[in-house]
Amino acid sequence: MNIAQLKNALVLARTLHFTKTAEEVNIVQPALSRQIQQLEEELNADLFRRNKRNVELTAAGSYFFTEVEKILNEFERVSKRASQICKGEAGEIRIGYTHSVMQSILPDFLKEIPLRFPGMKAILKEMNNRDQYLALNMNELELGFATNPLVPSHLKSKVMHVDPFVVLLPPDHPIDQRNYTDFSMFTDEPFIFPSTEDGPNYVRIIESICMDAGFQPNIIHETDSASTSFRLVESGMGVAIEPLSSLRRQALHIKHIVLQEIPQRANLTMMWQPAFETEYPGVFELLRNLP
């Protein structure tokens, strides 16, 4: 078997019609029939059940073509990357990120890409930590930028920036930077938190800020959108804890207090598959040298 035969067989698995498939792949029907027969003989498995009127997939065929489609898609991706590497960094790089990363380290990196690699396009996806792990594992992202992630063992990572946390307050809140003493002042406040399932380590860290101050936070809203959290605070619906970087380039009608006295910090972390270093050597070098 070869790639062309597998692609033709995959079209037949989709159309379940020899004549339509032969026209679509631009070969004569007898040649298509021979290819399918040779493929089945090589696999020692019947992939199609056919009679004069109908073509159907067998159970073996259904399994085989589901897996073949995944393999061919990965082959196309790898072939494309090999061509891009040969021509000199071109194509696209898919990047997942959390809100605070876009307000801090990511814009400087994105500005450098067209200057260093004119043929490359960045595709940006705002995603929580959990979705970034999954997308990196499925080769749907080249890079992930997350806040305090629990990095899976098969991924590599580097802390790119360390931020203090801030507490966000409605504009009319009686506490501000001038009269703030310690975080226990927020014992009775309603809190807005991210959801645990989408970033358990991050949530554990901001929850520990409250626990260290002697109280369990009263969480009344959960959202994984920093912008939504800002609006809820702005509307007087509660207080929130965010990395300081989240506030940059934002026009917000809220107050904030920098929590310099606490040990917890927001680690803005880059994650990647090990193969990224050889597939995108120039980009990796650029990232490694970011200030």
Query: Could you give the domains of the chain?
Result: 3-85 (1.10.10.10), 91-291 (3.40.190.290)
pLDDT (tens digit per residue) in 178-199: 999 999 999 999 999 998 877 8
Quick one: pLDDT at residue 206?
Answer: 94
Quick one: pLDDT at residue 205?
Answer: 95
Radius of gyration from C-alpha coordinates of the chain: 26
Distance CA 284, CA 286 (A): 5
Quick one: pLDDT at residue 100?
Answer: 82
Percentage with pLDDT > 70 across the chain? 97
| Mean pLDDT of all residues in 211-218 | 96
**Which pair of structure tokens corresponds to residue 262?**
């606490």
**Which pair of structure tokens corresponds to residue 93?**
């790089």
pLDDT (tens digit per residue) in 149-188: 989 889 999 998 899 999 999 999 999 989 999 999 999 9
pLDDT (tens digit per residue) in 240-249: 999 998 888 7
Quick one: pLDDT at residue 291?
Answer: 63
| Mean pLDDT of all residues in 250-263 | 90
Distance CA 268, CA 245 (A): 10
Answer yes or no: are the C-beta atoms of 13 and 69 closer than 8 Å.
Answer: no
| Mean pLDDT of all residues in 207-224 | 95
Distance CA 276, CA 156 (A): 10
Percentage with pLDDT > 90 across the chain? 59
Only one residue has tokens 């035969």, namely: 5
Angle formed at CA 9 by CA 8 and CA 15, multiple of 5 degrees:
90
Task: Calculate the average pLDDT of the chain.
Answer: 89
One-letter amino acid for residue 11 of the chain: V
Q: How many residues does the chain have?
A: 291
Quick one: pLDDT at residue 88?
Answer: 52
User: Higher-confidence residue: 285 or 148?
Assistant: 148
Quick one: pLDDT at residue 164?
Answer: 95
**Which pair of structure tokens corresponds to residue 38?**
């040779």
Angle formed at CA 129 by CA 261 and CA 235, multiple of 5 degrees:
60
Directed axis angle between helix 3-15 and helix 59-87, to 10°? 130
What CA–CA distances, in Å, run from 71 to 13, 38, 45, 136, 290? 15, 20, 19, 17, 35
| Mean pLDDT of all residues in 219-246 | 92
Only one residue has tokens 């339509």, namely: 20
